[in-house]
Structure formats: C-alpha cells, structure tokens
Amino acid sequence: MTVRTRADLDSLPGYIPGKSVAGAVKLASNEVSLGPLPSVVTAIAAAAAGINRYPDSGATELVAALAAKLGVEPSQVAVGCGSVTLCQQLIQATCTEADEVLFPWRSFEAYPILTHVVGASQVRVPLTAEHALDIDAMIAAVTPATRLVYVCTPNNPTGTALTRAELERFIDAVPSDVLVVIDEAYREFVDDPEVPDGVVIAKEQWARGRDNVAVLRTFSKAYGLAGLRVGYLVAPESVTEAVRKVFVPFGVNAIAQVAALASLAAEDELLARCRDIVAERGRVRAELLALGYEVPETQANFVWLPLGERTAEFNEHCLNHKVVVRAFAGDGARVTIGTPEENDLFLSAAKAFSG
C-alpha cells in the first residue's frame, strides 16, 4: 500500500534552479561572481567553532542591526532562510484556501509554487509589451478574495522596475486590508533615481496609517551570501508578528547570521562592487542592443532577452560556448552580469548566435 499524499502535488511544478556545468561560466542564478569579502570569510571561519550550539532563533543581533540601518523598530524586522522562505510565511500568515495571491507574470518563479503549496489561489497578471509590471491590470485584478500582492521591483527575470509614481498609485488603489509586499531582492543594483527605495515608501505609507505595505530583501545577491540563505522582511509589527507564528525554528543558521552581520559592517565595500556591476550591466546591454537583441532596460544584476520560441535554441548555443544562462522555455533567457571576462565570453556567444 502506497502512502497517501496530496493529489494536487502532481500538478505542482518544481522550482528549477540555475544550472552549474563543470568548466562553464555560470550566469544563471544572479549570484555575485566575486563572492564574499575576506573579512566576511574570516568571520564565517571563526563562527564555525560554535556550530555545536543552536543559533539564536530570533537572530536578535542581526535584526537589531537591520533595524538600525533602516530606521525602523526591531519588532518591524523578521529574518528567514532567504527571502523565499519569508515569501511562503507571508502567504501562510495571510491566506487560506478561500483566498487569492496576486502577482505579475512572468516574475519570481517561486510565487506560484509557494501559493500552490499553501493552498491559496494564484492570480497571474501578464506583463506589458515592454516586459514591465502592468499596474493598471494588477489593480483591476484585485478582488474581495485578494489577501496578498507581490510587487517584484526590479522584476525577476525582466529587470524592469516601477517608478515612485507607479508604486504609490498601485498602493493607493489596493484595499487597506490587502497586504502589498514590495519584493526588492535586487534593490542594491538600482541606479535610476525614479525607482524608489521600498523601505522609504513603506515608512511613508505607515505614517499615513496604511499598515498594509511590507518589503522583502536578501543577502543572497549584492552581499554575496547566496549559499548561506539570509533574507529579511520589513513590515508593520502586526505583519512581522504573524509571520513569526508560522516560521520554522532556527531557520537562519548561526554562520549565516554572523556572515550577514559582517557583510553589513563591510557594506560600503560591497556596494562599490554593485556599482561596478551596474557599469558592466550598461556595457552588456548596449552591446546586445547593437547586435540586434531586444533587451528591456534593467535595474537588476542581469539582463533579459525575450527570445520567445528561440529561447531553447539560444540556451543550447550558450551551453556549447561554455556559458550557462537561465532559460525560461518559450519566454526568454535571463543572463547574470558577471565579471568583465565572464561577460565578454557571453557576448561572444550572443554575437555568434545573432550572426
């Protein structure tokens, strides 16, 4: 007799991570190629001696440091095993099977998976023809059953970002009992002054009495800690309190907490790296445009090539040139901005494909 599991899991697509191929340059997962700083590695090595003890389940020191950096109360910060875990906790804390989670599509691949796992209904709102979030369509898609909305800006995988006016218009249009989560995994790579800081927006909304705005960020991208999994949520206390009720104890391990704290201490150096990546992003996009590719303006550490039905062919071509990109079959390819040398290898492959 076979153990009975949920029948609906048969229709659940698995999360597909970026590939790692021996001998190839990996530009598939939006990681920072240079990795953590030496000071962070030193802190990690020192922390390893204490791994026989459980970590601080509430990550008290890290939460306090984040609160001080962002100008909020510690009670308004929650941490998790990457921001993706917090995504799931937010759905668990706000939704039942009778409720809806609304998000743009294509966007972060985990949104539909996590919504399905929790048992809520998913509402996918197509992007605009320019591969940006369609604010008007998202507003129109909100129903009495909507409990949670994910607004990914810069959007993964297209890199497009909302302006302050667009984001404020959306928040103003959403009922005050619907939680709007601004997902800012790539905030540190934004250089467009029209693209606002989500935490600033959230604090302004709270001051107006709108306690339905929250922000997600991560240490996986700009801080180079993808392998340690640390994300954080900034939200009204009522939201963080609810999220903590559904968390997995000890979800952020001791080494990850130490690494995140060390990264915050070295933030100026890490953000200088981000500026270098932004400069490379501009160079790569300009060369791709010159080659005839369509490439939306991006505010993240990657570019998006909406290749449609040619995506699989492009992916295979890049693999043959020892470059691993992230292909979304039938839609396009997302390519991480790496070191200049890695980017040159990708551009060479892209040139060969376009020719």
Which residue has tokens 């917090």? 86
Residue 21: half-sphere exposure toward Cβ, Cα within 13 Å: 18
Q: Which residue spans of the chain are classified as CATH 3.40.640.10?
A: 38-265
The pLDDT score that the predictor gives to residue 35 is 78
The pLDDT score that the predictor gives to residue 18 is 57
Domain at 38-265: CATH architecture: 3-Layer(aba) Sandwich (3.40)
The pLDDT score that the predictor gives to residue 13 is 64
To the question of domain 16-36+268-354 being in CATH 3.90.1150.10, the answer is yes
Point out the residues of the chain with pLDDT beneath 70.
1, 3-7, 9-22, 355
Q: In this structure, are residues 202 and 215 in contact, taking their beta carbons and an 8 Å threshold?
A: yes
Please give the Cα distance from 94 to 117 (Å, whole number): 14
The pLDDT score that the predictor gives to residue 69 is 97
Q: Which residue spans of the chain are classified as CATH 3.90.1150.10?
A: 16-36+268-354
Which residue has tokens 């590939």? 19
The pLDDT score that the predictor gives to residue 355 is 60
